[in-house]
Structure 1
Amino acid sequence: MKLLFALPGFHSYDRGAEVALLSVADALARDGESVTVMGSGEDRPDTAYRFRHVPSIRRETFESFPHFPPFRSETAWEDASFAPGLLGAYRPGDYDAAITCSFPFTHWALRRPAARKPLQIFVTQNGDWPAYASNSEYRSFGCDGLVCTNPDYLERNRAKWNCALIPNGVDLERFYPGAAERARFGFPEDRPIILMVSAFIATKRVLEGIRAVAQLDDAFLVVAGDGPLRDEGQALADVLLPGRFKRISLKATEMPALYRSVDAFLHLSLLESFGNVFIEAWASGLPVIGHDSDRLRWILGAGAEYLCDTENQAALVAMVQKGLARGAARSGRPEGIERFSWPTIAGQYRDFIARLLAERASVR
């Protein structure tokens, strides 16, 4: 199959959506599929797919821009700056399927009129509202296949779209229990360390995490992430966690060692589409403290013992204490994590797209 993956952040960011789709693209390419990736970053060594640079303006530039439909966030502004270059680089007839999770501008560019159009595959990495909302720009949404990253999305959309339930994955050759490297990151050796891997945006609730950890006398909080609320978060930590807070930005290659260098993982988003960070932390042997939901219990399975109502600060603080009491007892790879290996996930993508191509051919 000839496949195109397109997203503004490819090779510029290593956040959840970028990591997930690039991992699928790479695994499919290594398995023999013809895969092209278009993004705004630069080519990277050791990737099995072909990369083509398409320029865009970085999302940080747009943080102070007004938000209105369809420019609902700084990432939508970034998406709009990416679409003109994508239109110039994209030749629909070259591909059997085009895959993205970016709406609306990348989505519109990939669906432009053409004599031979590839299958349009939309992945619900950032939510499924384009697939079911009927207001404003969402009325223009359309796809040949919808990859639902959790059962809630599948149930909500299966009657309208051709859907497949496919979770995200984790690189089990990189994320595994192992020895801590605290000196490498400048972390204290004599304190329990809690890690948040979150963007500084309201929905990730990093400020709530700072307030909760402040209730623990000796815990040290590390936040790996950036975003518009970075200054507000730092100011709050300066008051509530003096000498017990560190904000860092790391390359993707350093993330496995970061997970192995802490004692517990905390993520406070109330409802993630999937959340790669949950299974990265779980694969690394950490207790995963998050908001109790059916969706997160489905993801974590046996690893869901540290979930609670995170909007209840007393319950949250108690659960963080419980996680730290267990400590970094990394006795081996967690049971059940194998179902999230990227080759397994990529195989599910391949089977779904192949089925859709076969159905299209039979109709013709």
Structure 2
Amino acid sequence: MKLLFALPGFHNYDRGAEVALMSVAEELAATGDDVTLMGSGQPRPGTSYHFEHIDARAREGFEKWPNFPPLRSETAWEDASFSVNLLRRYNPSEFDAVVTCSFPFTHWALRRPARRKPLQIFVTQNGDWPAYENRSEYRTFSCDGLVCSNPDYYERNRKKWNCALIPNGVDLSRFKPGQGDRARFGFPSDKRIILMVSAFIESKRVLEGIRAVSKMEDAYLVVAGDGPLRNEAQALADGLMPGRFQRISLTAGEMPLLYQSVDTFLHLSLLESFGNVFLEAWASGLPIIAHDTERLRWILGEYGYLCDTEDQPMLIRTLVDALSSGCTDNSVGIDRFAWSTIAGEYRSFISGLKKIASSVP
């Protein structure tokens, strides 16, 4: 198949959505499909897919811009700047299927009128609300196939769209238990290191993480990420836990060593579409502390330390328990999430849709 994956952040960021779709694209290209990625970054050596640069303005430059439908956030502004340039390059007739998780502007650009239209595949990496909402710009949503990253999304949408329940994955050759290197990252040797891999936005609840860890005198909090709340988080940490907080930004290649260099993993979002970081921490053998939901139990099974993270005393007790346990057995269940398996499910889904489309007169 000739496939296009389009997302503003490709090769410019290594956030959850970018990592997931790039990993699927790499596996599909490496095993025989003709895959193109279009994003705002630059080509990277050694990829099996073909990459094309599309200009876009980074979301950080839009953080103080006004928000209104459909430009509801800095990410929507970024998406709009990308889609304008995507339209100049994108030729629908070149592809059998196009894949994105960005709505509305990239989604609209990929559906441009054409004599030969590729299958439209939408992935719920950032949520499924475009698929079920019926207000404002969401009324324009349409797709030939909806990849649902968790059972909730699948049940909510399966009667309206052609759906497949396909989780995210993890590169098990890179993310695995190891010795780590605290000195490389400037971490103290006399503290227990708690890691959050998270954007500094309201829904990720990084500020709540700072407040909880500040009450644990022997703990040091590291947050790998960036976002609009970066300065507020730093100010809060300086006041509550001076010298015990560090914000870092790393390349994708440095992330496996980061996981190996800490004692436990903390994630406080109340509800994630999926959360690649859970699999990365699991594959690295780290205890995982996160908010207790049916969706996360579907991902982790019996692995991890799940609790009501809005109850701060309970959260602190769970952190203490997890730190006491040390690294855990990560061998049971994680193989199901290998990217080769996940990409095979994408291929089967898209191939099935292609056969259905070709049989329609």
Q: TM over 0.5: same fold?
A: yes
Which aligned pairs between 1:247-326 and structure 2 lie closer than 5 A? 247-304=247-304, 306-326=305-325
- 1:219-268 superposed Cα distances (whole Å, 9 cap, x missing partner): 00000000000000000000111111110000000000000000000000
Identity %: 70
Indicate conservation of the 8 Å contact 1:194/1:265, yes or no.
Answer: yes
Indicate conservation of the 8 Å contact 2:199/2:227, yes or no.
Answer: yes
Indicate conservation of the 8 Å contact 2:3/2:96, yes or no.
Answer: yes
Indicate conservation of the 8 Å contact 1:282/1:334, yes or no.
Answer: no
Match of 2:189 in 1: 189
Counterpart residue identity of residue 269, structure 2: S
Shift of 1:302: 2.4
Give the Cα separation in 1 of the matches to 2:299 and 2:284: 15
Counterpart residue identity of residue 289, structure 2: I
Counterpart residue identity of residue 332, structure 2: E
Q: Which has the larger displacement, 64-73 or 138-147?
A: 64-73
Q: Which runs of 4+ in 1 moved over 4 A?
A: none
Shift of 1:66: 1.1
Which aligned pairs between 1:144-293 and structure 2 lie closer than 5 A? 144-293=144-293
How many residue pairs get matched? 361
Match of 1:91 in 2: 91
Match of 1:362 in 2: 359
Give the Cα separation in 2 of the matches to 1:19 and 1:73: 21
Indicate conservation of the 8 Å contact 1:121/1:145, yes or no.
Answer: yes
Shift of 1:301: 1.1
Give the Cα separation in 2 of the matches to 1:256 and 1:298: 24
1:256 match: secondary structure: helix
Counterpart residue identity of residue 347, structure 2: R
Match of 1:100 in 2: 100
Of the candidates 327, 337, 340, which is equivalent to residue 340 of structure 1?
337
- 1:298-335 superposed Cα distances (whole Å, 9 cap, x missing partner): 0111213x0000011011111111110112x355x431
Match of 2:349 in 1: 352
Indicate conservation of the 8 Å contact 1:265/1:288, yes or no.
Answer: yes
- 1:32-72 superposed Cα distances (whole Å, 9 cap, x missing partner): 10000000000001110000000000000000011111011
Give the Cα separation in 2 of the matches to 1:52 and 1:280: 28
Indicate conservation of the 8 Å contact 2:287/2:328, yes or no.
Answer: no
Shift of 1:180: 2.0
Give the Cα separation in 1 of the matches to 2:48 and 2:166: 22
Structure 2 spans left out of the alignment, 5+ residues: none
Give the Cα separation in 1 of the matches to 2:157 and 2:4: 24
Give the Cα separation in 2 of the matches to 1:66 and 1:288: 37
Give the Cα separation in 1 of the matches to 2:270 and 2:67: 22
Indicate conservation of the 8 Å contact 1:124/1:273, yes or no.
Answer: yes
Shift of 1:109: 0.3
Counterpart residue identity of residue 124, structure 1: T
Indicate conservation of the 8 Å contact 1:146/1:162, yes or no.
Answer: yes
Give the Cα separation in 2 of the matches to 1:158 and 1:215: 45
Match of 1:23 in 2: 23
Give the Cα separation in 2 of the matches to 1:334 and 1:267: 21
Counterpart residue identity of residue 311, structure 1: E
Shift of 1:94: 0.5
1:4 match: secondary structure: strand
